[in-house]
Structures are given as structure tokens and as C-alpha cells.
Copies of this chain bind each other. A is one copy, B any other.
Amino acid sequence: MRHAVILAGGWGERLWPMSTRARPKQLLALAGEESLIRATLARVAPLVDGESTLVMTGERLAGRVAEELPDVPRERVIGEPVGRNTAPAIALAARLLVRRDPEAVMVVLPADHVIADGAAFRDVLSLAFEAALAEGALVTLGIRPGRPETEYGYIKAGSPARTAGVLAVERFVEKPDRETAARYLADGTYLWNSGIFIWRADRFLEEVGRLLPAVARALVGVEAGLSSASFEGEMARYYEAVPSISVDYGIMEKSDDVVVVPCDVGWDDVGAWSALERVWTVDADGNAVRGESVVVDSTGCVVYSEAGVTAVVGLRDIVVARTSEGTLVVPKERARDVRKIVEELKRRGTIG
């Protein structure tokens, strides 16, 4: 049976102060009227068994996430006691799914991405489910690049796999510099790594056993089902035992059985403030504005205002964001550096 595993662990640091630990990106309605996580679930609902969807999030957020997803049974929103990146979370989810459904095939979905074309996405996902079953491989969705993006990782696609529309993966490549990104765009065989994966749960656990033995060993201790009284304790021990490692680095880049489905589905990870001009309405001066603001003689700006008015004059290509927690001002081209701000605020104890 088809299942969905939604990853909702982070809080979108690079969108501070709109995103905060208490009000993380996946709970915001960044595009459209519903939160990103609710849109994520709604987008795949026609294809997967909602009752057996799993949501992996932080312990402190689990209640809020569960409220946001009323169609997901409460015990299936799993609050991780500590964040250990994506590989341990996905491995635990795979184990829980395969325990009830040995034939389980699962799609792993980040909770905080935007996909503009839901119908096209479901077509691609159907193909990916087929390929996961037919090829027995780890399937990833590769987005055909629309610009020389330097903030995404890329997948170099290779020769066609057996299933039509599916390609072998030659290799995963790190975030490129501007020049390399332009070359990738022109080349045509490079795809953006979407972080969306499809595989049989048992096949993925085989790869975990081979490539992440420490995770596999810890997984043995998770015997109880979700509704069992001993699950919490077992999960706590699991998260204590596993290393912190991403599924990209720990599995995808090392496995020799990865294929990719190239697609055009209007995907955007909305990873930084500079991304918002792609999902928000942009006015005639190229400004993407939300909230009460006054924008004078300014072009190419992203202006977000809450809890008061935001007024800008004479700016070009600058992000200005105001919430009750704080104000951020940064040139769009340095939007990634919001991380530095967040690190400093954490160090000071200003934010959690």
C-alpha cells in the first residue's frame, strides 16, 4: 500500500523572523491560503492512505502539527525528542510502516515546500510509485531547473532506467557556484534535488542496514507499535543512539541503486527570503509585499510586515521583514546569511 511520510522537523531558520521555532515555516501559509504542511498532505491525499500517513516533527511542535492535520490520527504525528536530521527519522518511519504493511511503498515529503502544479505532481508521483515497485530502486524526484540556482543541490541524471520516464542517477552534486550552475542549466542533464523520495520501505531499510549500520542497530530496539505504552521509551532510546545524519548524505549519495524522475511541477523549497518573490504577487516595481506597508521609490524588494507598519524608501533588491519578534533587513543576494543572524540570536538566548 502507498504511504506518505511527512518531514516536519525544522523551523525554516532562513525565513526568520517570519518563521520562528514557535511558528515554524511549515505552519505558515506562504503560498495560498493554507499552511505548507496542510497543502503537502492535501496534495498527496488522492494517492496515499491518509490513515497510515506518518508525520515526523519535533516533540514541542507535535500538538500544533496534529491540530493542523486533523485527518492524520494523533498518534501518527511523531514528536522526536531530539532532532537527528532526516535519515534516522525516515528509517524509523519506514520501520513503523513495514511492521503493519510488509509491502509498504512510501513517499517522503518535506512539509515546507511549495508545489504549484498539484495534478502534475500526482502524475509524477504515480510514476515514481510504479518505478519504486518495478525497479526496486530508491526513487527521487528531480526538478528540471528553471534558473542557475546556487542554493540547491543537483542530481546528474544518466541513462534511462527500465521504467519509461525514469533515469539512472549518475551522482549527486553539491550547491554549485554561479558559473557552474549556469553550466548545469545549459547542460540539461542536471536536475534539482527536491528532497522528495519514493521507495519500498523494506528496500530502504536494507540500504540503511548496509550504509548506516548504527541506525539499523538502534532500530532493532523499536519493537512496540505506535499505540503501545512502551513506544515513547523505545523511541527516546532510539534517538539517543542514532547519529545525526541526512538521508542525502547517508543514503542517497552512497547507494548504487538510485533513480530519478525528472519533472516540472512548479516546485520551490522557499528556503530563503529571496524565494518569496517567486511565490508572492510581485507589483509593477518588482516588489513582493505582504502586510501593512508603505513602499516609496523602491524596486525588487521583498517586504513583509506584521504587528505594525513597515515603511521603506529608496531601496533596491532588499528584504525587509518585521514581526513582533524582530526586524530583518538584508540584500536579497545575501538572504542565505540570515543563518548568521539566527546563530547569533541563539547564542545570546534571544531566540530558542
Complex interface bits, A321-339 against B, C-beta within 8 A gives 1, otherwise 0: 0111111111100100110
Chain B residues with Cβ below 8 Å from A241 are none
Kindly identify which residue among B311, B324, B345 contacts A294, using a CB–CB cutoff of 8 Å.
B345
Other than the given A297-B337, A308-B324, 4 more pairs (CB < 8 A) read A307-B324, A313-B337, A315-B318, A322-B326
Do the beta carbons of B315 and A350 come within 8 Å of each other?
no
Chain B residues within an 8 Å CB radius of A337: 296-297, 313-314
Instruction: Check if A214 is an interface residue, CB within 8 A of chain B.
Output: no
User: Complex: how many Å from CA A326 to CA B312?
Assistant: 11
Copies in the complex: 2
Q: Is there an interface contact between A313 and B296, defined as CB atoms closer than 8 Å? A: no
A325's partner among B309, B327, B334 (CB-CB below 8 A) is B309
**Pair B313/A338 contact, Cβ less than 8 Å:** yes
- CB–CB B312/A344 < 8 A: no
**Interface assignment of A340: CB less than 8 Å from any CB of chain B:** yes
Q: What CA separation (Å) do A221 and B310 show in the bound complex?
A: 46
Chain B residues, Cβ within 8 Å of A320: 327, 329
Indicate whether A140 reaches chain B with its CB closer than 8 angstroms. no
- How many Å from the CB of A11 to the closest CB on chain B? 16
State whether A340 and B305 are in contact (beta carbons under 8 Å apart), knowing that A327-B311, A327-B327 are contacts in the complex. Answer: no
Segment 58-99 of A: residues with Cβ below 8 Å from B: none
Q: How far is the CB of A126 from chain B (nearest CB, A)?
A: 43
A119 at the interface (CB under 8 A from B): no
A311 to B17, CA, bound (A): 10
> Does A206 lie at the interface of the complex (its beta carbon under 8 Å from any beta carbon of B)?
no
Question: What residues on B are CB-neighbors of A341 within 8 Å?
Answer: 294, 296, 311, 313
What is the CA–CA distance of A32 and B246 in the complex, to the nearest angstrom? 53
Q: Which residue of B lies closest to A338 (CB)?
A: B313
Contact count band on A: 35 or more
- Chain B residues contacting A296 (CB-CB under 8 Å) are 337, 340-341, 344
Over the window 111-150 of chain A, the binary record of Cβ atoms lying under 8 Å from chain B Cβ atoms (1 yes, 0 no) is 0000000000000000000000000000000000000000
- Are the C-beta atoms of B308 and A325 separated by less than 8 Å? yes
Closest 5 CB pairs of A and B: A309-B326, A311-B341, A313-B330, A322-B327, A314-B334
Chain B residues within 8 Å of A334, by CB: 297, 313-314
A292 at the binding interface (Cβ < 8 Å): yes
Beta-carbon nearest neighbor of A16 in chain B: B311
- Residues in A197-245 with C-beta less than 8 Å from chain B: none
Q: How far is the CB of A285 from chain B (nearest CB, A)?
A: 15
Q: Is the CB of A315 within 8 A of B294?
A: no
Q: Are A312 and B292 in contact (CB under 8 A)?
A: no
B330 pairs with A312, CB closer than 8 A = yes
A308 near B326: Cβ-Cβ < 8 Å: yes
Task: Give A313 to B345 CA distance when docked, in angstroms.
Answer: 13
Question: Chain B: which residue is nearest A316 at the CB level?
Answer: B331
| Nearest residue, chain B, Cβ from A330 | B313
Q: Find out whether the CB atom of B314 lies under 8 angstroms from the CB atom of A327.
A: no
Residue among A17, A294, A315, A327 with most chain B CB within 10 A: A327
